[in-house]
Amino acid sequence: MAGILKTVTGKSKIDLSKKTFAIVVAEWNEEITEPLYQGSYQSLIKAGVKSKNIIRKSVPGSFELPLAAQWMVDQKEVDAVICLGCVIQGETAHFDYICQAVAYGIMKVNLKSNKPVAFGVLTTLNKKQAMDRAGGKHGNKGEEAALTVIKMIELQN
């Protein structure tokens, strides 16, 4: 697990203090998405990103993440976007529709904008699995999403 954490070490070869990041956070399951946000934010700061260059936006649910991400990448100064959400399986087919739409929507924003947009969305069978991945025994996937966009920016430069 956490291959990305192993590979992002030391100083970045690009000056991250000049890069701007948007973090879009879903309000559904906010007890999970808030620690994901904290993980992303702290990882960016640790990597040398200035707090004034981190924009936070909230959306009602994960389904709204792709559109908000598109609005963010449309802003010239934004270099990368981190989408954070948590979809927990319920009794109906909503889970499948939301997960598929969000994953596909975020991928489309990546390719259309040519800017890195991370899919930091937990899709779990229950709340415990989500907590384990939001600062629990399986790490914090918000941190990993932040490190992913940093690596992609490095790759692009």
Q: Which residues are catalytic?
A: 94
Contacts of residue 64, defined as CB under 8 A and 6 or more positions apart, other chains included, come to 26
**Counting Cβ atoms within 10 Å, is residue 4 exposed (0-12), middle (13-18) or buried (19+)?**
middle
Nearer to ligand RBF, 107 or 125 (CB): 125
Told to check if 71 binds ligand RBF by CB under 6 A, we report no
Told to check if 29 binds ligand RBF by CB under 6 A, we report yes
- Per residue in 112-150, is it b (16+ CB within 10 Å) or e — as a string? ebebbbbbbbbbbeeeebbbebbbeeebbbbbbbbbbbb
Told to check if 119 binds ligand RBF by CB under 6 A, we report no
Closest CA to 72 of 22, 131, 135: 22
Question: 54, 78, 98, 145: which one contacts ligand RBF (CB under 6 A)?
Answer: 98
Told to check if 87 binds ligand RBF by CB under 6 A, we report yes
Strands 117-124 and 80-88: parallel
Nearer to ligand RBF, 80 or 122 (CB): 122
How far apart are CB 131 and ligand RBF at their closest, in Å? Answer: 14
Q: What gap in Å lies between CA 138 and CA 41, rounded to an integer?
A: 18
Told to check if 60 binds ligand RBF by CB under 6 A, we report yes
Closest CA to 152 of 103, 101, 122, 113: 113
Nearer to ligand RBF, 7 or 92 (CB): 92
Told to check if 61 binds ligand RBF by CB under 6 A, we report yes
Told to check if 90 binds ligand RBF by CB under 6 A, we report yes
Question: 35, 39, 85, 142: which one contacts ligand RBF (CB under 6 A)?
Answer: 85
Which chain residues interact with ligand RBF by CB under 6 A?
26, 28-29, 60-64, 85-88, 90, 92, 94, 98
